[in-house]
Amino acid sequence: MSEQPNITYPQLITLYEVSRKINSKLNLPELLDETMDLAIELLHAEKGVLLLRNKTTGELEMKVARAMDKSRIADAVALVSRTVVRKVESGGQSLLMQNVPDSPGLNPNMSLIRRKIKSVICVPLRSREKLVGCIYLDTTDKQHFFKTEDLAFLEGFANLAGIAVENARNYRQVEEVNRNLESLVDERTQEVQAKHNELQSAYDQLKDTQMQLLRSEKMASLGMLVAGIAHEINTPLGAINSNTDTFSRCCGKLRDSIQDCGLEQGANAKTIDVLDNLSKVNVTAVERITKIVKTLRNFARLDEEDYKQVDLHEGLDTTLTLTAHLSRARINCVKKYGKIPQLTCYAGQLNQVFMNILVNSCQAIEGMGAITIETSHKDGAIVIAISDTGIGIAKENLDRIFDPGFTTKGVGVGTGLGLSISYRIVEEHGGRIEVESRIGKGTTFTIYLPVK
């Protein structure tokens, strides 16, 4: 049935036109529509169907069916002769039936006969030598039938279409790969961002822990140093303390004996007065040293005390009484006590914490102001927030206020030990201290103490 290609010159020109037109289409559906319309137009067919092999099922599937007026035919399945298509598919050869009614030996049940087809033509679509589909055209026009040169032309046409389909498919693939790539890049970027965030927070945490570690380490070594110093100072202090007292007693005895002997008093009495006065100064000086040693001892935790159950509100109240001389008339103390359970703790030590923070608050308030103490029980911990309306803490100092020896107060006012001692005590109770401050507005110290 198929003939040797025998293309005329005008047909070649047309094919060139066709090639130009369909190669400009990279979108596959558009390309298929255009191809079909061109084929129908050029061969004066009534309708045309283009079938392509489905890559997964291996079946030839109808991709587009067009009518002469370039409209799509909806249910085209019934309009293609499966017999014809199968023949082309299995033989790999084009098929032309110029005059269907006159063809011999046709099954009268064949769809071609039923649909009164006059002439039908079907050529394979190839890509790289492989059959990837076919173009099917037919007509019921009694006056018209497809000719052998139509077949040759359509085969040439199909060759071009095959290449164009292949190109469009490749293009689609490239596009898809591109799209995938893009979304892959997007995904990766997001992943990298998430990883980065994770790392950042891990780093922050590490830095935090390191700070804390450093702080505890500093405290521990300072504690040992302080314990040693307290011990060393004690012996000479004991001697001076005793001697000062003995001195005063000696002065008393001397004065008595001068009187008893009825000696001339003047110069001797004056000398004794000088000794006595100096001795009194020594007493005060020794008292001061003793107090410092006591503070240091406390810091180094040399004096163990009872671990017992207490109501922290009592401790806060006691401390407020003790600091009253600092705040009298000037500072309004507001208590907002919530419901809190008893806590098993070193009560004296915690009182010292309250004391240190309250003294700082009082010192931070110049003139009139307020201190608020708020307590609550949250997430298994007792929370004590002590706020003041004082001068606040500069941002650059916030990290250092818990360092031993850090003070912004004048010599003789601040030792810089209060907060570091407090930090240590709270830490030993398994809790923590947080601070929040705004320059010129005030400061809040919040103590968290877990209840076991």
Partner 1 sequence: MTTNSNIESTLRVMVVDDEEMVLTSVRSFLELETEYDIVTFTDSEEALSYVRVNKVDLVISDYLMPKMNGLEFLAKVKEVDPQITRVILTGYADKENAIKAINDVGLFQYLQKPWDNDDLKIVVRNGLEKRRLMAELEQKAGEIQKAYGDLQGLHREILKAFA
> Cβ of residue 239: shortest distance to partner 1, in angstroms?
4
Q: Is 159 helix (H, G, I), strand (E, B) or coil?
A: helix
Query: Is 146 in contact with 119 (CB distance < 8 Å)?
Result: yes
Query: Is 83 in contact with 174 (CB distance < 8 Å)?
Result: no
338 touches, from ligand ADP, partner 1, Mg ion, none (C-beta below 5 to 8 Å by class)? none
Cα 270 off chain centre by: 81
Q: Of 230 and 358, which has the nearer Cβ to partner 1?
A: 230
- Residue 302 near partner 1 by CB under 8 A: yes
Q: Of 360 and 437, which has the nearer Cβ to Mg ion?
A: 360
Q: Give the helix/strand (H/E) hosting 284.
A: helix 266-299
* C-beta pairs of 199-208 under 8 Å, 24+ apart in sequence: none
> Cβ of residue 357: shortest distance to ligand ADP, in angstroms?
7
- Axis-axis angle for helices 347-364, 418-428 (nearest 10): 140
Q: Of 82 and 409, which has the nearer Cβ to Mg ion?
A: 409
Beta pairing class for 381-388 and 442-450: antiparallel
**HSE-up of residue 216 (Cα within 13 Å, Cβ side):** 11
- The CA angle 163-164-166, to the nearest 5 degrees, is 65
Spatial neighbors of 109 by CB under 8 A, at least 6 apart, are none
- Residue 292 near partner 1 by CB under 8 A: no
Q: Which residues bind ligand ADP (CB under 6 A)?
A: 356, 360-361, 364, 388, 390-393, 401, 406-409, 414-420, 443
> Cβ of residue 227: shortest distance to partner 1, in angstroms?
7
361 touches, from ligand ADP, partner 1, Mg ion, none (C-beta below 5 to 8 Å by class)? ligand ADP
> Cβ of residue 341: shortest distance to partner 1, in angstroms?
31
- The CA angle 257-261-263, to the nearest 5 degrees, is 100
The DSSP bridge partners found for residue 448 are 383, 432
Shortest-Cβ-distance residue relative to Mg ion: 418
304 touches, from ligand ADP, partner 1, Mg ion, none (C-beta below 5 to 8 Å by class)? partner 1
* Euclidean distance between CA atoms 302 and 279, whole angstroms: 30
* Euclidean distance between CA atoms 143 and 398, whole angstroms: 101
* Euclidean distance between CA atoms 48 and 41, whole angstroms: 10
243 touches, from ligand ADP, partner 1, Mg ion, none (C-beta below 5 to 8 Å by class)? partner 1
303 touches, from Mg ion, partner 1, ligand ADP, none (C-beta below 5 to 8 Å by class)? partner 1
How many other C-beta atoms can be found within 10 angstroms of the C-beta atom of residue 122? 26
> Cβ of residue 265: shortest distance to partner 1, in angstroms?
22
- Total number of residues shown for the chain: 452
How many other C-beta atoms can be found within 10 angstroms of the C-beta atom of residue 43? 21
Q: Of 10 and 412, which has the nearer Cβ to ligand ADP?
A: 412
Q: Of 236 and 338, which has the nearer Cβ to partner 1?
A: 236
> Cβ of residue 293: shortest distance to partner 1, in angstroms?
8
Amino acid 447 reads I
237 touches, from Mg ion, ligand ADP, partner 1, none (C-beta below 5 to 8 Å by class)? partner 1
- Residue 124 near Mg ion by CB under 5 A: no
- Residue 313 near partner 1 by CB under 8 A: no
Interface pick for partner 1 out of 46, 141, 166, 245 (rule CB under 8 A): 245
- Residue 231 near partner 1 by CB under 8 A: yes
231 touches, from Mg ion, ligand ADP, partner 1, none (C-beta below 5 to 8 Å by class)? partner 1
Interface pick for partner 1 out of 242, 265, 309, 344 (rule CB under 8 A): 242
# binding residues, partner 1 (CB under 8 A)? 24
388 touches, from ligand ADP, partner 1, Mg ion, none (C-beta below 5 to 8 Å by class)? ligand ADP
Place of tokens 């002065």: 251
Question: Cα-atom radius of gyration of the chain, to the nearest Å?
Answer: 52
How many other C-beta atoms can be found within 10 angstroms of the C-beta atom of residue 125? 27
Q: Is 122 helix (H, G, I), strand (E, B) or coil?
A: strand
* Euclidean distance between CA atoms 120 and 11, whole angstroms: 20
Q: Of 239 and 368, which has the nearer Cβ to partner 1?
A: 239
Interface pick for partner 1 out of 98, 243, 318, 363 (rule CB under 8 A): 243
Mark residues 389-418: x for contact with Mg ion by CB under 5 A, - for none.
-----------------------------x
Per-residue tokens: 99? 């005059």
**HSE-up of residue 135 (Cα within 13 Å, Cβ side):** 31
Q: Which of residues 250-279 bind partner 1 (CB under 8 A)?
A: 250, 253
Q: Which of residues 327-366 bind Mg ion (CB under 5 A)?
A: 360
Query: Is 355 in contact with 319 (CB distance < 8 Å)?
Result: yes
> Cβ of residue 327: shortest distance to Mg ion, in angstroms?
15
- Residue 304 near partner 1 by CB under 8 A: yes
- Residue 290 near partner 1 by CB under 8 A: yes
Report the interface residues with partner 1, using CB under 8 A. 227, 230-231, 234-243, 245-246, 249-250, 253, 286, 290, 297, 302-304
